[in-house]
């Protein structure tokens, strides 16, 4: 907990690659933001994946879709997650769980983060059943084939995803 004057603020972090943000991510953001005083959505840069969007672009795309939530901030970090959290005074990590298949990996990461910092708790939030099938990888795959992205990514960023996939020569005709 971080002290802000008299009040104790509960700050949670929602980390991920968000390449790009999907409606599934946005659902977790909305629900977590209603539970904590402040939610930091953090684009983690050290994942070793080959991303479509740069970290700066991913931050901007998320910012555009979370404008309506005043207690949500978006940042990116190249640090170890627990170090980033220490600097921000955050104690809680939010992880969205789509299926049991997410659980093994996320459970291991949660234990490692607790070994690194005993004061950190990971909270798992079940995905809305509408979005359990959805991942950024699936979105990129669908964009390559020119599929309609409306049910998968927030309206505000559909054009950006299609343009990016095209400019990177990822389109499959």
Active site residues: 25, 49, 98, 136
Nearest alpha carbon to residue 170 among 20, 29, 58:
20
Query: Please, which residue, 3 or 100, has the CB nearer to ligand ADP?
Result: 100
What residues contact 171, with CB distance under 8 A and at least 6 apart? 144, 146, 165
Regarding 24 and contact with ligand ADP (CB under 6 A), the answer is: yes
| Among the listed residues 17, 32, 65, 77, the single contact to ligand ADP using CB under 6 A | 17
Report the site for ligand ADP in 81-100 (rule: CB under 6 A).
95-96, 98
Smallest gap from residue 129 Cβ to ligand ADP (A): 10
User: How many Cβ atoms from other residues are within 10 Å of residue 152's Cβ?
Assistant: 22
Quote the CA–CA distance of 85 and 172 in Å, as a whole number.
Answer: 40
Q: Which stretch binds ligand ADP (CB under 6 A): 18-26, 54-62, 68-76, 155-163?
A: 18-26
Nearer to ligand ADP, 77 or 127 (CB): 127
Using DSSP, state whether 123 is helix, strand or coil: strand
In order, the DSSP letters of 11-38 are EEEEEE--TT--HHHHHHHHHHHTTSSE
Which residue in the set 11, 12, 13, 25 belongs to the binding site for ligand ADP (CB under 6 A)? Answer: 25
Which class for 97: exposed (0-12), middle (13-18), buried (19 or more C-beta within 10 A)?
A: middle
* Binding-residue total with ligand ADP (CB under 6 A): 17
Smaller CB separation from ligand ADP, 25 or 164: 25
Instruction: Rule CB under 6 A: choose which of 85, 134, 161, 165 binds ligand ADP.
Output: 134
């Amino acid at each position: 907990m971080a002290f802000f004057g008299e009040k104790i603020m509960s700050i949670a972090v929602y980390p991920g690659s968000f390449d790009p943000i999907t409606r599934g991510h946005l659902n977790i953001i909305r629900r977590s933001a209603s539970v904590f005083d402040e939610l930091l959505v953090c684009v983690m840069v050290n994942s070793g994946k080959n991303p479509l969007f740069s970290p700066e672009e991913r931050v901007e795309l998320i910012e555009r879709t979370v404008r309506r939530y005043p207690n949500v901030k978006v940042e990116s970090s190249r640090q170890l997650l627990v170090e980033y959290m220490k600097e921000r005074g955050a104690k809680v990590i939010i992880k969205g769980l789509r299926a049991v298949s997410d659980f093994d990996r996320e459970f291991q990461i949660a234990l490692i983060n607790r070994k690194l910092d005993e004061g950190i708790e990971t909270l798992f939030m079940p995905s809305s059943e509408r979005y359990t099938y959805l991942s950024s990888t699936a979105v990129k795959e669908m964009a390559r084939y020119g599929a309609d992205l409306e049910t998968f990514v927030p309206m505000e960023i559909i054009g950006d995803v299609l343009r990016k996939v095209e400019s990177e020569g990822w389109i499959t005709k």
